[in-house]
Chains A and B, each alone.
Chain A
Amino acid sequence: MSQRYFEDVNVNDELDPVEKMPTADMSIDFFGRNNPMNPAFADAEHSKRLGMSGALVPGMLKIAWMTQYVNDWAGPDSKLESIRVAYRRPDIADKPLVLSGRVVDKREEDGKKVVELEVATLAEGEPTVRGNVQVVLPSRG
Chain B
Amino acid sequence: MSEEEKSLLTDEVRALIGKVTDAVTVTVKEEDARRMRDVIGDTDPRWAEGTGIAPPYAIAAFGGRPSRNMPFIMPSGLLTQQEWKFSRPFRVGEQLQSTTQVSDIRERLGGRYGHSVLVTTSTDYHDAEGNHVASALSTLTQFDPKRAQGKAE
Cβ-defined contact, B39 with A61, below 8 A: yes
Q: Which residues of A contact B85 (CB under 8 A)?
A: 81-82
Segment from B12-20, B30-38, B120-128 that makes contact with A: B30-38
Contact of B45 among A32, A63, A76, A90 (CB under 8 A): A76
| Bound form: Cα–Cα A109–B151 in Å | 43
Cβ-defined contact, A1 with B78, below 8 A: no
Asked if A125 lies at the interface with its beta carbon under 8 angstroms from chain B, I say no
Asked if B22 lies at the interface with its beta carbon under 8 angstroms from chain A, I say no
For window 16-60 of A, CB contacts with B under 8 Å fall at 26, 29-32, 37, 50-51, 59-60
With both chains docked as a complex, state the minimum distance between the C-beta of A104 and any C-beta of chain B, in angstroms.
17
- With an 8 Å Cβ cutoff, the count of chain A residues facing the other chain is 31
- The interface bits of chain B over 122-153 (1 if a CB of A lies within 8 angstroms of the residue's CB, else 0) are 00000000000000010000000100000111
- Contacts A80-B56, A82-B86, A85-B82: A64 and B36 contacting too (C-beta < 8 A)? yes
Cβ-defined contact, A76 with B44, below 8 A: yes
| Bound form: Cα–Cα A36–B113 in Å | 26
With both chains docked as a complex, state the minimum distance between the C-beta of A50 and any C-beta of chain B, in angstroms.
8
Kindly list the 10 A-B residue pairs having the minimum CB-CB distance in the complex, ordered from nearest. Answer: A64-B57, A84-B83, A51-B151, A60-B60, A82-B85, A90-B153, A30-B39, A59-B79, A29-B39, A68-B42
What are 11 A-B pairs at a CB distance below 8 A? A1-B43, A1-B44, A26-B39, A30-B35, A30-B36, A63-B84, A64-B60, A81-B85, A84-B83, A84-B137, A87-B79
For window 40-82 of B, CB contacts with A under 8 Å fall at 40-46, 55-57, 60-61, 65, 78-82
| Bound form: Cα–Cα A1–B126 in Å | 30
Contact of B82 among A68, A84, A89 (CB under 8 A): A84
Asked if A83 lies at the interface with its beta carbon under 8 angstroms from chain B, I say yes
Cβ-defined contact, A68 with B39, below 8 A: no
- Contacts A29-B39, A68-B57: A87 and B84 contacting too (C-beta < 8 A)? no
Q: Which residues of A contact B137 (CB under 8 A)?
A: 84
Tell me the nearest residue of chain A to B151, going by C-beta. Answer: A51
| Bound form: Cα–Cα A55–B44 in Å | 29
- Contacts A63-B82, A85-B81, A89-B153: A71 and B44 contacting too (C-beta < 8 A)? yes
Contact of B81 among A29, A68, A81, A86 (CB under 8 A): A86
